[in-house]
Amino acid sequence: MVKRIPILFLSLITAPIYAEMKVNMPLGVTPLSHDIYWLHMTIFWICVGIGVIVFGALIYSLIKFRKSKGRIAEDFHEHTLIEIIWAVIPFLILIGMAIPATKVLIRMDNTEDADLTVKITGYQWRWKYEYLDQGISYFSNLATPANQLNNKAPKNKWYLLEVDHPLVVPTHKKIRILVTSNDVIHSWWVTELGIKRDAIPGYIHETWARIEKPGIYRGQCAELCGVNHGFMPIVVEAVSPMQFAEWVKQQTQGKVTFNTDVKLTLSKKELMGRGETAYDTYCAICHKPEGTGMPPAFPALKGDKILTGKPGDEIAIVLNGKAGTAMQAFKNQLSNEDLAAIITYIRNAWGNDDKNKQGPHAGELVQPEDIALAR
Amino acid sequence: MNSIEHAVDQHAPYNSQGFFSKVTRWIFTTNHKDIGTLYLWLSLIMFFVGGAMALLIRAELFQPGARIISPEIFNQMTTFHGLIMVFGVIMPAMVGLANWQIPMMIGAPDMALPRLNNWSFWILPFAFALLVSTLFMSGPAPNFGWTFYAPLSTTYGPKSTDFMIFSIHLLGLSSILGAINIIATIFNLRAPGMTFMKMPIFVWSWLITAFLLLAVMPVLAGVVTMMLADRHFGTSFFNAAGGGDPILFQHVFWFFGHPEVYILIMPAFGVMSEVIPTFSRKKIFGYKFMIYAISVIAFLSLLVWAHHMFTSGIPLVSELFFMYATMLIAVPTGVKIFNWVATIYKGSVTFETPMLFAIAFLFLFTLGGFSGLMLSIVPADYQYQDTYFVVAHFHYVLIPGSVYAIMAAIYYWLPKWTGHRYNERLGQWHFWLTVISTNLTFFPMHFLGLAGMPRRIPDYALQFADFNMIATIGAFIFGFSQLLFLINIVRTVRGKGPHVSNQVWEGAHGLEWTLPSPPPYHTFSSPPTIDECK
Ligand SMILES: [Cu+2]
Ligand SMILES: [Cu+2]
């Protein structure tokens, strides 16, 4: 027993050091994440304390009462007072723990007096951020290129934790966060904000944050939401209120609106260039960069009968999704130009434009106008 | 020793000569020992099937990046690994132990409803065939996790989901019939003088478990039936667009699911309460309080289901209620741990393989209890929920809890069942490899979860790479060490190893130890007399 004590102390002292080596929950940057961290550490040390006592008694008994030491069992198998004591003491400890936990929980529940409201909608497999008062709305997609996923290129520092458009929020303001979903259940989780909220289709749940330190905070979808559950990261960029105001201005000036009537015709080169980029962001994760898909759940686009025929059916599928499959509706996610570019791209890439093999309609272009008509 | 010779030819029915009758013996058997054996073999086979799936998962997670299985297959593997380990391994093993032991422990000739017993076993192979067949179908197999949350499993579920639904119906049916049989046996077939408060704790723990099964298995059947209706009959139980609520699914599922984890662990408590006294050569400490504690745990387990749903936006008041109720479970669970430690205290302890597993249970199950207590704190749960911290938690409860208890029970009772001692050296190797690799696999997962790694992801950020690699190495050691277990069982069953006496273990008490080893095919045809000392 005496020999074990130094080891025990060593592990107690080293625990806080490990805390910096990403083995512990981060302290975070909001009052709530601080509260959570504090509760977490308190209950952790209570468990360590109980563990020392229970394991100590167990180790002592196992060493002291060995038969090989000539021990003979004693008739000690009942003691009502002891039973009551070791039921009551843990009960009191639990009450001591329940009180602060209750207080924190009540504080978390208070979403009143917010300075800013952001609505977050989970999609398979991206997040949509809407600033309800500012009229800003956009999608946030995984930005890690496919060749890194397939180990064909060295991985970035923020592999799988990087997005094209982060959620930008001001520091030192109370942000009310509304979370919902468009399809299945997702969960919006950023450890350093102390927030995890399930995104439930048809229901909106709220929470809040007040970020005290500018910086970039990363998280992931935490609820299994289908095949690309592991590929819908979250990046939150907290900037000073002034910078935020600046950002809002920028966003509202260059506002993209869908369903435009602008009759725009793009060249094949423009369509293909834009299409490839958009395809990699929105489609490649299921249909693969080489268009091979992952049959049978995600059909191959290479050599697909619909894509090599007369344009029409594929436009409807991309716009409205395909019921009963993972193919979702992109109508409200992408502009006419992007949709036209993507469809043109998949009609022309991977040899789909080969008229000899695929027939007379192979490789025909689709223009934003065609999308506007089909909407 | 003399009694052995006279028992040898009686551990099979009279007509089991020739291949055909050997097969029909197992198909038509109504003998509790045969049926117990069938359950245990099924469980052992499924243990390797579910384990192979776990190794596929771990192999994919060895390094970041897409490696050997696609995300789609990955999700199917997490689903099947969970379903198989819960319904195909732990539950059948526990029922197998109940079948073998309960009649022998209460002095009954057999289970009360032998034909029902046959049926409740033989439903299982068909149920699993139905489930596993989906892996070979052209569409995707169920790929939404063993918790099959709606709407991922309803509106968005693959076609094969219906096979899973019917499979779960069958599994539930089997469990309900098994539970009825156990209750009927314990209530009606106790030998004269075997009062309730003289019953071994293993029997008590199974009695309470059987009532829990009856309470929640119909709820599971209900929830999958609602899924079926949503998928095909136009209802909208779980679809907000039709006036339903996806959260309703979680309420109903966890009303089954939480008691289910206690169904998996309470027979393990029973096994511990047999093994620890035997190898401490001392009566169980606080017999009555142990029984009260199991009863309280069973009752509370029906009131804590929403602690799996703290992040789903349930109202503040329910969060508080479920937090308090969950914390409260720590009290009776603590009482059990303290009583086991007190049983060892002032005993005379030896360290045969069953006892080693029991000691590892005490340490590691308690560790799983600690992380469970941490998870009960709602605000902290906001961070833990759906991360590897939870994965670490429930694997610590289920492996050192249920699985170690099953292994302890096999090593403990196998000499009684076969008449031969297992190989002790092999058993010790199995133990040490298992216990070291369990910790190597699952301890780092606590760190992963706290640092921010979600569950059920096929690929992860670079900061998680080191611990994932360690976990994978641990998992492979764990998996392959189980072959030692298999070898040891097969050797013993085939009669390698020294003959054992009726008593087998020096410190063992109870009716089963008064029978020859192996016990004759039919035991206690006339009831034994129960003396004062249990
Ligand atoms: Cu998601
Ligand atoms: Cu639970």
Summarize pLDDT for B462-503 with one digit per residue, the tens.
Answer: 999 999 999 999 999 999 999 999 999 999 999 988 999 999
Q: Which of A226, A253, A280 is the last residue of a domain?
A: A253
What distance in Å separates the CA atoms of residue A200 and residue A198, rounded to the nearest whole number?
6
Report which of A126, A19, A197 is spatially closest to residue B314, judged by C-alpha positions.
A197
Q: What is the pLDDT of residue B126?
A: 95
Q: Are residues A228 and A321 in the same domain?
A: no
A16 part of a folded domain:
no
Q: Which of A220, A253, A286 is the last residue of a domain?
A: A253
First to last CA, chain B: 23
Q: What is the pLDDT of residue A14?
A: 47
Q: Are residues A249 and A124 in the same domain?
A: yes
Residue with tokens 């490990």: A18
- Choose the closest CB to B380 out of A36, A72, A223: A36
A10 part of a folded domain:
no
Partners of A190 in the β-ladder? A195
A46 part of a folded domain:
yes
Count: domains in chain A: 3
Backbone dihedral angles phi then psi of residue B284, each to the nearest 5 degrees = -60, 135
Q: Which residues surround ligand 1, an ion (CB under 5 A)?
A: A 186, 221, 225, 232
Residues B98, B32: contact at Cβ < 8 Å? Answer: no
Between residues 125 and 154 of chain B, which touch chain A (CB distance below 8 Å)? Answer: 138-140, 143-145, 149, 151-152
State the DSSP H helix or E strand holding residue B219, giving kind and residue range, or none if neither: helix B201-232
Ligand nearest to the CA of B456: 1
Q: Classify residue B317 by its DSSP letter.
A: H
A258 part of a folded domain:
no
- Choose the closest CB to B286 out of A78, A196, A226: A78
What distance in Å separates the CA atoms of residue B385 and residue B309, rounded to the nearest whole number?
9
Instruction: For residue B459, list chain A residues with Cβ-Cβ distance below 8 A.
Output: 149, 160, 230-231
Q: Which of A222, A253, A284 is the last residue of a domain?
A: A253
Q: Are residues A231 and A162 in the same domain?
A: yes
What distance in Å separates the CA atoms of residue B34 and residue B25, rounded to the nearest whole number?
9
A206 part of a folded domain:
yes
What distance in Å separates the CA atoms of residue A218 and residue B308, rounded to the nearest whole number?
24
Q: What is the dihedral of CA A63, A65, A68, A73, to 10 degrees?
A: -170
Burial per residue of B403-421, b for 16 or more beta-carbon CB atoms within 10 angstroms, e otherwise: bbbbbbbbbbbbbbbbbbb
Q: Are residues A37 and A139 in the same domain?
A: no
What distance in Å separates the CA atoms of residue B344 and residue A61, rounded to the nearest whole number?
6
* Six-digit token string for A326: 């993972």
Q: Which of B60, B147, B297, B327 has the highest number of chain A CBs within 10 A, making it the mutation to test binding with A?
A: B327
Q: Read off the amino acid at residue A134.
A: Q
- Rg (alpha carbons) of chain A, rounded to whole number: 28
Ligand nearest to the CA of B302: 2
Q: Are residues A46 and A136 in the same domain?
A: no
Backbone dihedral angles phi then psi of residue A153, each to the nearest 5 degrees = -140, 155
Residue A134, min C-alpha distance to chain B (Å): 26
Report which of B441, B430, B425, B437 is spatially closest to residue B497, judged by C-alpha positions.
B425
Report which of B383, B382, B376, B484 is spatially closest to residue B428, judged by C-alpha positions.
B484
Between residues 320 and 349 of chain B, which touch chain A (CB distance below 8 Å)? Answer: 320, 323-324, 327-328, 330-332, 334-335, 337-339, 341-349
Q: Which of the residues in chain B have pLDDT under 50?
A: 1-9, 532-534
What are the pLDDT tens digits along chain A (375 aa)?
A: 344 444 444 444 444 444 345 788 999 999 999 999 999 999 999 999 999 999 999 999 999 999 988 888 888 888 889 899 999 999 999 999 999 999 999 988 887 888 999 999 999 889 999 998 888 988 999 998 888 888 888 998 999 999 989 999 999 999 999 999 999 999 999 999 999 999 999 999 999 999 999 999 999 999 999 999 999 999 999 999 999 999 998 888 765 555 455 557 788 888 888 888 888 878 887 788 888 887 766 788 888 888 888 888 888 888 888 766 667 778 877 888 888 888 888 888 888 888 888 788 888 888 888 888 887
A215-221: strand order across its sheet: A167-170, A233-239, A215-221, A186-190, A195-199
Instruction: For residue B380, list chain A residues with Cβ-Cβ distance below 8 A.
Output: 36, 39-40, 43, 101
Residue B484, min C-alpha distance to chain A (Å): 26
Between residues 361 and 420 of chain B, which touch chain A (CB distance below 8 Å)? Answer: 362-363, 366-367, 370, 373-374, 377-380, 382-383, 385-387
Burial per residue of B133-145, b for 16 or more beta-carbon CB atoms within 10 angstroms, e otherwise: ebeeeeebbbbbb
Residue B355 touches chain A, beta carbons under 8 Å = no
Chain A residue with the nearest C-alpha to that of B139: A296
| Chain centroid to CA A313 | 33
Ligand nearest to the CA of A122: 1
Residue B54, min C-alpha distance to chain A (Å): 17
- What ipTM, to 2 d.p.? 0.90
Summarize pLDDT for B208-226 with one digit per residue, the tens.
Answer: 999 999 999 999 999 999 9
The verdict on a CB contact (< 8 Å) between A61 and B380 is no
Report which of B501, B97, B122, B457 is spatially closest to residue B272, judged by C-alpha positions.
B97
| Alpha helix ranges (H) inside chain A | 4-18, 31-64, 80-108, 146-149, 241-253, 268-282, 284-287, 305-308, 313-320, 336-348, 355-358, 368-374
Residues 6+ apart with CB under 8 A from A269: none
Residues B120, B92: contact at Cβ < 8 Å? Answer: no
- Choose the closest CB to A229 out of B359, B380, B456: B456
A22 part of a folded domain:
no
Q: Are residues A122 and A193 in the same domain?
A: yes
Q: What is the pLDDT of residue A145?
A: 87
B31-533: CATH topology: Cytochrome C Oxidase; Chain A (1.20.210)
Residues 6+ apart with CB under 8 A from B175: B91, B95, B120, B213, B217
What distance in Å separates the CA atoms of residue B36 and residue B97, rounded to the nearest whole number?
6
- The residue segments making up the domain with residue A148 are 116-253
A13 part of a folded domain:
no
Residues of B carrying an active site annotation: 81, 110, 146, 174-175, 258, 260, 262, 273, 307-308, 333, 336, 455
Q: What is the pLDDT of residue A1?
A: 36
Q: Are residues A137 and A177 in the same domain?
A: yes
Q: What is the pLDDT of residue B354?
A: 96
Q: Are residues A231 and A170 in the same domain?
A: yes
Q: What is the pLDDT of residue A121?
A: 94
What distance in Å separates the CA atoms of residue B51 and residue B482, rounded to the nearest whole number?
10
Assign 3-class secondary structure to B55-112.
HHHHHHCCCCCCCCCCHHHHHHHHHHHHHHHHHHHHHHHHHHHHHHHHHHHHCCCCCC
Is cis: bond before B151, omega within 30 of 0? yes
Q: Are residues A104 and A180 in the same domain?
A: no
Q: Are residues A239 and A298 in the same domain?
A: no
Q: Is the dihedral of CA A110, A114, A117, A120 positive or negative?
A: negative
Q: What is the pLDDT of residue A18?
A: 41
Residues B400, B438: contact at Cβ < 8 Å? Answer: yes
Ligand 2 centroid vs B100 CA: distance in angstroms?
Answer: 29
Q: Is the dihedral of CA B389, B394, B397, B398 positive or negative?
A: negative
Instruction: For residue A91, list chain B residues with Cβ-Cβ distance below 8 A.
Output: 328, 331
Chain B residue with the nearest C-alpha to that of A74: B346
Q: Is the dihedral of CA A197, A125, B249, B94 positive or negative?
A: negative
What CATH number is associated with residue A190? 2.60.40.420
Query: HSE on the CB side for B241, CA within 13 Å?
Result: 9
The verdict on a CB contact (< 8 Å) between A77 and B362 is no
Can you tell me whether residue A175 is helix, strand or coil?
strand
A21 part of a folded domain:
no
What CATH number is associated with residue A45? 1.10.287.90
Q: Is the dihedral of CA A57, A60, A65, A68 positive or negative?
A: positive
Q: Are residues A164 and A51 in the same domain?
A: no
Residue B312 touches chain A, beta carbons under 8 Å = yes
What distance in Å separates the CA atoms of residue A132 and residue A182, rounded to the nearest whole number?
17
Q: Are residues A64 and A136 in the same domain?
A: no
What distance in Å separates the CA atoms of residue A215 and residue B86, rounded to the nearest whole number?
43
Ligand 1 centroid vs A199 CA: distance in angstroms?
Answer: 8
Q: What is the pLDDT of residue B16?
A: 60
Report which of B184, B205, B219, B1 is spatially closest to residue B108, judged by C-alpha positions.
B184
Q: Which of B79, B153, B155, B386 has the highest number of chain A CBs within 10 A, making it the mutation to test binding with A?
A: B386
